[in-house]
Structure 1
Amino acid sequence: MSTTTLRLGLRANLAQFSLLVVVNALVGGMVGQEQTVLPLLAEQEFHLTGYTFLLSYVLVFGLSKAATNYFAGTWSDRFGRRPVLIAGWLIAIPVPAMLIFAPNWSWIVAANLLLGINQGLTWSTTVIMKVDLVGPRQRGLAMGFNEAAGYGAVAVTSALAGYLAEHFGLRPIPFLLGAAYVVLGLVLSTLAVRETREHARLEAARPTHGSDDGPTELTNRHVFTRTTLTEPALSSASQAGLVNNLNFGLSWGLFPLLFASTGLPVGQVGLLVALYPAVWGAGQLATGALSDRWGRKHLITVGMLTQAAALALIAVAGTFPMWALATVLLGAGTAMVYPTLLAAIGDVAHPSWRARSVGVYRLWRDSGYAAGAVLGGIVADLIDLRAAVWAAAALSLASGISLALRMYETHPRTQRTTESTT
């Protein structure tokens, strides 16, 4: 398709954008099928007692997803976005069956290795494709819709899987949800999703007002170095993303065990586990758009500090109402951060290397799953579950302070407004 027939913007690409929102909801649902059920399955069917060993599935998931995120960005530039998306769904085909029929824990770990690859390829690609379609003006709104769909589906599927597990057992019924998601995701990605790489090339050909004044063509090594270390906004976003997903990885593995330790029934545990991504998912519809109006930096900083306060409350609470309040607060803080970090990457990175920068950012961000599994498992084994939550609260506080000191505002409109008043 000639770039002369393409247009950037949400309204001009609403049909494809909406389809990609649906696809990413299915991607998120693949994670949601596990969140409530697997920690309970580990204890009740496989009789695992060590938290570090129990969290091995989160560690493997995080490492495989993080590494795949990096390659997803590079491959989407080389081969196109759509082939990478389809490959991600093909990788997911055996996952539900492996979870259902696993005779030992190593099968669960292997299934999460594949699930991490699936998530890295599919979620990264839907992010890149939406940024391609909407152009620079509505990145925050676009990322809000993308992440709201994904984590809203995590929440709904977590709650539904908990309900099904309580009424029909831990296996096989809850994991049939994932089987349905794989079929729908593969069919939609193969038959309905269209390539968006030319939209990025169209944007690259236009004058931009982004924050990055460096070269428009960079090697993979230079993109990695800029996003990880040398560019203040990109590297600040990468560290904040890592800490944010450390919190999510820890919640995935330890929160169900902490809540269940007080005698809460599985249904209430599932509801508490679902509240965090539910508020996170729905809140992003507002916070993504707000970052287009207010700018990125302060929303990200406040979000990390809010997460620190929420984790501290989870560590001291011991009742369903207090934990519900804390998980809602944790979801709100995450909603401020999640789409805004992705929008900031899009602000700074030039379209010619933006997909690779998104891949590097998501490499570090999703390394947080592995970091959360290691930190949570070791601290919980050495001390207890609540100490692990306190450790995550301290890291979130440090991340928020670092952002306040180092990151600059990246939104082009906010930058121009600031410059006009100085």
Structure 2
Amino acid sequence: MRDTAAHVALELAQHSKPLPSDENTGLKSTFARTSWLNRSLRGASQAGLVNNLNDGLTWGVFPLLFTDHGLGLAAVGLIKGLYPVLWGLGQVATGHLSDRIGRKPLIVYGMLVQAGGFVLALVLLERPLLAGIVSAVLLGLGTAMVYPALIASVSDHAHPAWRANALGTYRFWRDIGYAAGALVAGVLADALGLNATVIAAAVLTAASGLLAARWITEHRSDAR
């Protein structure tokens, strides 16, 4: 591997917006800026959290939902396997696409595509295998749209002087979503049932996409 510190130093020297002398680049300040104070970074952080939350939720809920409707272990494995395969392969193309059309469209529509996957999982549930495959495809494609665009958006809006801390903060919120999803899945499924949990995931994911549309800007040169 090659360290990119020299590239960051060059970017910092040539940056169109010099860092104000009174701006704090420490972790505490950057954590607050990325988590809430900066609208675009706030939008990316909440979308990353919800994206991984619904991923964790599917691992807890979908196997139970589809086995309750007659599918066996092999079919459930196919459904759950499709999602990471499409996500992993798809983000190679969507990452490139985000450099051409911008980050925000992929983030917003990717979250809405995921929400649609949850909805169709219930709408088509009388044919559980079809429901599972369709939902897995939409969740995988939606995540492939969102995942590289989110981290690129954080990089776009973070000044080189505090970008590393901003990316670390974003990944903190994004990755804590896995644990949150597992907890939410267990609590909601126990209290309201599996179908209601899937509906809740759809609503939360769509709401996150709408928040991203409201908060995230597309000005890649805007590092403030």
TM-score calculated relative to the size of structure 2: 0.89
SS in 2 for 1:327: helix
- Superposed displacement of residue 214, structure 1: 5.7
Q: Does 1:224 align with 2:31?
A: yes
- Superposed displacement of residue 213, structure 1: 6.8
Maintained 8 Å contact 1:308/1:393: yes
Match of 2:77 in 1: 270
Match of 1:398 in 2: 207
> How far apart are the structure 1 equivalents of 2:132 and 2:157?
38
> How far apart are the structure 2 equivalents of 1:360 and 1:260?
38
Match of 1:202 in 2: 10
Residue identity (%) = 49
Maintained 8 Å contact 1:295/1:410: no
> How far apart are the structure 2 equivalents of 1:375 and 1:293?
36
Deviations 1:223-276 (A, max 9, x none): 011100111111110001011011111012222222222232212211100111
> How far apart are the structure 1 equivalents of 2:20 and 2:148?
24
Change (3 A) 1:385 1:196: same
**Counterpart residue identity of residue 407, structure 1:** I
Maintained 8 Å contact 2:54/2:201: yes
Higher-Rg member (1/2): 1
SS in 1 for 2:105: helix
Match of 2:110 in 1: 303
Q: Does 1:409 align with 2:218?
A: yes
1:243-254 correspondence runs (5 A): 243-254=50-61
Maintained 8 Å contact 1:243/1:399: yes
Match of 2:158 in 1: 349
Match of 2:176 in 1: 367
Change (3 A) 1:263 1:358: same
> How far apart are the structure 1 equivalents of 2:137 and 2:218?
27
Maintained 8 Å contact 1:296/1:410: no
Maintained 8 Å contact 2:114/2:202: yes
> How far apart are the structure 2 equivalents of 1:321 and 1:246?
24
- Superposed displacement of residue 340, structure 1: 0.2
> How far apart are the structure 1 equivalents of 2:201 and 2:42?
20
Which consecutive residues of structure 2, in runs of 5 or more, have no partner in the other structure?
none
Match of 1:340 in 2: 149
> How far apart are the structure 2 equivalents of 1:278 and 1:354?
30
Match of 1:328 in 2: 137
Maintained 8 Å contact 2:45/2:174: yes
Higher RCO (CA < 8 A, seq sep 6+): 2
Change (3 A) 1:213 1:259: farther
- Superposed displacement of residue 290, structure 1: 0.9
- Superposed displacement of residue 282, structure 1: 1.5
- Superposed displacement of residue 374, structure 1: 1.9
- Superposed displacement of residue 323, structure 1: 1.5
> How far apart are the structure 2 equivalents of 1:247 and 1:311?
9
1:37-52 correspondence runs (5 A): none
**Counterpart residue identity of residue 296, structure 1:** R
Deviations 1:303-359 (A, max 9, x none): 111111111111333211222012101111111111000001111112222111111
1:108-127 correspondence runs (5 A): none
Maintained 8 Å contact 1:297/1:410: no
Maintained 8 Å contact 1:292/1:411: no
Match of 2:94 in 1: 287
> How far apart are the structure 1 equivalents of 2:84 and 2:16?
34
> How far apart are the structure 2 equivalents of 1:278 and 1:410?
32
Report runs of 4+ in structure 1 exceeding 6 Å deviation.
none
SS in 2 for 1:237: helix
**Counterpart residue identity of residue 235, structure 1:** R
Change (3 A) 1:209 1:288: farther
**Counterpart residue identity of residue 336, structure 1:** M
Maintained 8 Å contact 1:316/1:386: no
- Superposed displacement of residue 391, structure 1: 0.6
**Counterpart residue identity of residue 153, structure 2:** A
Maintained 8 Å contact 2:124/2:130: no
**Counterpart residue identity of residue 197, structure 1:** A
**Counterpart residue identity of residue 402, structure 1:** L
Q: Does 1:313 align with 2:116?
A: no
